[in-house]
Structure 1
Amino acid sequence: MNALLIALAGLIGFAVAGNPPDAAKLEPLPIDSMGLPKDATVQKPGIARVTGHYPTPAWRFDHWKTEVDGSTIKLTPYGLNQQRPDQMVAQVLMPFNLPKVLAGLRPGKYTVVVNGSNKKLSSQLTVKEAEMERGFPYLDAAKVAEFVTTTDQAQVTVSGNLPDAGWHPLAAEVKVGEGIIWVYPWAERKRSAFAAEMLKAAEWKVRLPALPAGDYRVIVEGRDREQGLTLKVSAAD
């Protein structure tokens, strides 16, 4: 009888989870392709775009792991399986298209390598000189209200430190994807201007647009790391 039930479950394309997922266990995601811009400068950082697929709808993107080793940039997209032990999840591959801003690079030629759970991809990126330079702060903290309604505009507060006194905060940029909100706290400096090499504190208050009901992962980009936040949007009464 048990064998029959298992066979039927397989036929309808569903699976029941076995052991509960380990919330601390993050795994590289399967990747399909990557694309890089052809006109990146230190003022207009390049954006790598990586396509792939979540193994099931229960998976979500968590963060990028970024390593810069000389002229090689290594990127790994990590995901988390949120399937509960009592949950049935359709065995359907869910596509994703993830951006990664390649800011803070010196002018020169780079090899960008994306490591997925299924394969490794690489491509060449050229970063050109420019008078102005854009980048992100070293992240100190980022926060957002965990629960809002569809009529609210949640505010993300980002605090951090700019590399030196010559940097000045710009307006932050917000990109909304499928269940993911990317927050880019931009700053800029004139490359030819002298500035004392001391950290400069800065803060950004970023209003998110009104969002449909659902669970969102808010990713705040920093020079040294990313910070992921959780936002739940409920339907207004």
Structure 2
Amino acid sequence: MQRKDFLQEPVKHIKINGKLTVDQLIQQFKNSGSFGAGRLSTACDIYERMARDDECTIFLALAGAVVPAGMRSLIADLIRERLIDVVVSTGANMVHDAIEALGGHHYKGHWLVDDYMLYKYHIYRIYDVFVPEEDFTKLDYRLAEIYGEIAAENNGKSLSSNEFAWELGKRLNDSNSILRAAYEAKTPIFLPAVRDSEFGFIHWLHASRKNCENPLVVDAFKDVPE
């Protein structure tokens, strides 16, 4: 390649006026073509093509702490409006969804806060978001009850992670919940590493009790044919 090949398309600077629509702003992002703005515009173009293609199955993959970061209701709305077809998520994101559904909260913090101070005051952290320890404790007790209910209803039958997620959603009475929205819309929501989260820890406690004759069984291999 020659030098001129690297200098083909000038950046067009964004201009804002009082009548600018969101669509027009995204188009200007495309014309700038740079950094996050340009990538956001490209993502919008890709999603629009997917949405217009009747044969396209739209997967939403959730990694990172998107629920603690405040994206929970948005994702629930995407499911409810059927703007996505399948969700694949970490177990942790759905743990935080369940915390909120049970009345817990995430709080704005700061990444420079000392870990020892948070430990002293029984506060969990997700980078710069804080959660009171008691919200996790409340979740743990409720999960133990739910696991017993699910195991009893299914009589030892193993569940896929999607079936497990729907069973959780069925028991969460919160319209802003991702799990609840997926259950109501019957949108598949797969949690491939569900054991690597609070769900897995409480499952271990539930299954290891001496009087637990019928433990909940979640079989990730059952996700494959679904």
Same fold (TM over 0.5): no
User: Comparing both structures, which one devotes a greater share of its residues to helix?
Assistant: 2
TM-score (norm 1): 0.26
Larger radius of gyration: 2
Normalized per residue, the structure richer in strand is 1
So what's the TM-score if we normalise by structure 2? 0.27
